[in-house]
Every structure is written in structure tokens, then in C-alpha cells.
Amino acid sequence: MLTAVLGFGCSDFLDETDKSNFTLENYFTKPEHATSVVNSIYESLRPITVSGFGGGTWMMTEFATGLADTDLGQAQNSLFIKNLINNSDNGYGQTYWTSYYRGIANANLAIAEIPGISMDEAEKNALLGEAYFMRAYYYFHLVRLFGNIPLVTDPIDLTSEDLFAPPADPADVYDRIVADLLEAEKMGLPMRDASGRASQGAVKSLLSSVYLTMAGYPLQRGSEYYALAADKAEEVINSGTFDLFPSYDDLHDPAQNNLGEHIFMIQFAPYLMASTWQVSIIPYNRGISNYSAETGGIFADENFVKAYPEGDKRVEEKAFYYTSYTTRSDRTQSIELGDYYLFKHFDAEAQTNTTSSGLNWPVIRYAEVLLLFAEASNEANGPNTAAYEAVNKIRSRAELPALEGLSKEDLRTAIWKEKWFELSFENKTWFDMVRLRQAYNVTTGLFEDYVGHTFVYGPQVTERELLFPIPTAEMRNNHKLIQNPGY
């Protein structure tokens, strides 16, 4: 289940006499080996974004919100989730499980072996910090997606006891995530890393999100953890390192990768390691793109977009969404597309010229940190000046009036709405729905119980949708696993 896959580069090992005989005992001897194993941890981020005529794994948590639609009839994995008839054969879940446990395996290897390498101590600590951060990141996603998952923190091989490990108590997984992030904080990482590697800003931001989740469901650790979440987010804010982009256009400008409000991203490079989701965010075969594949894989439900407040700049044409575009045959002519497609992930240069996108995928941005702080601070302390300032920065950019004079309960729901609207289609909303056990009703404009919530197009959420099914192949290979209820 947890086989390590290292990213070896040929040129790094020209001085080795026997390239075919690397083992754990003789490989980890040089600084380059430490860098190589940490690089391999990051590789497990990319498979989630791969997209095509079969859909894309990143869509899994978007269709689970009931706020997404698709033109892609053959993308059965998307349709099963969208219609709440998902099952354990869904390839999206398998990709998450396989990719993230591979990343964990490489992180375990790095954490175990790098301390024994003779190298610059600051460089060593930075690489260890990245490994701890990435292990925490992968476990944080897996425990929220699948619930009772194996917790393995040591390197394993085919003879290891933990090759087929039993499921752990989710509380133990969360505690390990926190421990890893606290360890990463000690390792001297810079607040920002413009190369795209994990940074102190990413560590503290993720820790804030983890604490906020632990305050809610399923652990319900309450006010103490809201305070911890607020403190960590405030450290990022007070660092003065990050700020909101002045224009929403900057969110999907490759020139702004890893800069501005981007705190952590999945890295891509045109012609070398190009991203593939561009084909999924354009309408099906309408001739607006230079890409030969136009899949119509995902777009926003019209009712959700129309639920944004009147005058919200985020729903102006070609801010977060687009409803018209020029045609490939004539860039002076626009056509109406009929639906709200995702402009916040749209690489215009790739779509209209190169067909090779180097736009990074956003994982953590400063807007989320402001909203994390606002929610956590309000929960811990009630309405306060700092919480208002944080959420109102988001609203100011959207050209909405500032919030003021609200009760704790009213400010809470106002912040939730900002999270739904600001972080849409960034793989955040479903996690909030499950953490809060709340869903946004786009018809009434109110929040209601997640279990029992009816999607605007018909299906009703049941308790089984609190988790995704453990993939069939994992259940078959590891008989200690227990399938989640309802699957």
C-alpha cells in the first residue's frame, strides 16, 4: 500500500559505479539524495489535477457540494458523485488514496533517512520541514475524505508489519498532523518560498485550517481549538508577507505563480510539466479554445452564481466565471456559452495560443487565511475589530459594503458565505460543509443541516456523504480496513 517512489535524476549519479544497486542502506549518503527524496514527495500532488474526457480527480469534492455541473456524459466518476450515487469503484477516490499514500511513504523515508546525511544543517532542517509539512498535508486530506485510515509514520517494505496497517482512530491522525506541522515550524523555513516549495507561511496556514477543523466535526474540540486556529492565522497576517491581489485576473496569471496572495501551489511548467485541467473548464466542443479537446468537464451551477450578492465583483463577466468567449476561428467574435464556466482557473495564453499551460493550481492563498482568522476569532472571542477587518478585506475587493454591528451568530453565517463565494471551486467548500455539518441553500440564501440538505437539482444528502468510500482495491488488498457506512 505504501511503496516509496523516488524521483531520481540521471545526471545526479554519473559518479556511481553501479546504478542498479541502490538500497536504503547505501543511497542516502549525499545532500543531493536528501533533495531527491523530498522532491519525490511533491510529485504526489499532481495526479489529483489531471483532467480529460474522463473528468478529473480534483472535481470529486466539487461535485459533492451540489454546486457544480458538467456537460461530460462519459465522466461517470463525476456523475456518480454529483447524483449522490457514488460507490467504492470510483477512480477519483482511488487516485487520492494511491497518490497521497505514495507521498506519505516518501515523506516517511525522508524523515527517517535525512538526519543521517552529512550536509549543511540549515539545508537539512529545511528539507525535513518540507517533508513534515507534506506528510501532514496528505494525512489531513485523507482523514477528512475517508475517515478511519491507516496511520503509518515509518518507512515500510514488503516484509513490514504495517504493509497492511489497520485503520487508526481519526483523533490520532489529527494529533499526528498537528505534531508534524509543529515540527515543521521549527525548521527555519522562510515565510514565503517563491520557488513553490513549502514555506513557513504554508505551515502556519495549514495548521490554522487543521485547528479549525478539529474545533468542529468530527472531533468537536471547541473553543480552545478555535483560539489556536485564530492565533496561527494571525501569525501569517502579522508577518506582512502576503496580501490580496488588487485584481482577480492575478489569480490565474502564470506570472503570479507563488507570488502575491498565493501561499502554496501545485507546480507546473509549460512544455515541461504542463497542467491538464484547462480542457475541463471550457465548454464542450464550442470552438473557443486552441486545445483540440474541449470537454465541458465542470462548470458552476447557475443557481449558485446567482446567489452571490448584488454588485459582487466576483461574478462580473470574466472575474471568477465566464459566460462568453471569442472563437478559435475568429478572435474578434464572441459567442454566448449558456453556462457559468470557471475563469479563476483559466490560462488565457494557453487557451488561445500555446495549448501548454504553466498555471499553478492554488492550494492555500491569503484570502483563505483571512477567512480562517475571521471565523476562528469570532468563534473564540465573539465579534471583534480584527475579525471584521479580515472578512471586510475580502468584501472590499469584491466591492461589497463592510460588515459591522452583527451578533456572533450573524457574523458567523456572513463569514461562511464569504468562504463559499470566495473559495469556490478550489477544493475547499465540501470540507467546510462536513466540518460544520452545514450546507448553503442557494434558493433561500440560508444555511441548513448538511444531512438532509437537498441539492437544487434533486438529490438529498444522507449521512453516508459525510465520507467518501474507501476504494475497492484497498478493501480487497487490506482486510483490516472497514468500509464507511452506506457503501
**Domain for residue 201, yes or no?**
no
C-alpha cell of 89? Answer: 469503484
In the chain, the number of structural domains is: 2
* Last residue within a domain, chosen from 359, 387, 412: 359
With respect to residue 459, please indicate whether it lies within any of the assigned structural domains. Answer: no
Q: Which of 96, 173, 94, 91 is nearest to 140 (CA)?
A: 173
* Residues in contact with 1: Cβ distance below 8 Å, sequence separation at least 6, in sequence order: 101, 150, 163, 164, 165, 474, 477, 478
Torsion, CA 310, CA 313, CA 319, CA 320, rounded to 10: -60
Q: Which of 359, 382, 410 is the last residue of a domain?
A: 359
Any idea which residue has 543511497 for its cell?
A: 27
DSSP string, 307-340: TSPTT-GGGSBTTTEEEEEE-SS-TT-EEEEEEE
Residue 310 and residue 164 share a domain? no
Specify which residues 441 forms β-bridges with: 446
Q: What is the DSSP letter of 467?
A: S
- CB atoms near residue 50 (< 10 Å): 17
Indicate the residue among 306, 335, 359 that finishes a domain. 359
Strand partners, 167: 150
- Could you tell me the residue range of the domain that residue 307 belongs to? 268-359
| Nearest to 128, CA basis, from 62, 38, 205, 203 | 38
Do residues 170 and 148 lie in contact, with contact meaning Cβ atoms separated by under 8 Å? yes
- Digitized pLDDT (tens) for each residue of the chain, 487 residues in all: 444 444 433 333 333 444 445 566 678 889 999 999 999 999 999 999 999 999 999 999 999 999 999 999 999 999 999 999 999 999 999 999 999 999 999 999 999 999 999 999 999 999 999 999 999 999 999 999 999 999 999 998 888 887 899 999 999 999 999 999 999 999 999 999 999 999 999 999 999 999 999 999 999 999 999 999 999 999 999 999 999 999 999 999 999 999 999 999 999 999 999 999 999 999 999 999 999 999 999 999 999 999 999 999 999 999 999 999 999 999 999 999 999 999 999 999 999 999 999 999 999 999 999 999 999 999 999 999 999 999 999 999 999 999 999 999 999 999 999 999 999 999 999 999 999 999 999 999 999 999 999 999 999 999 999 999 999 999 999 999 999 999 9
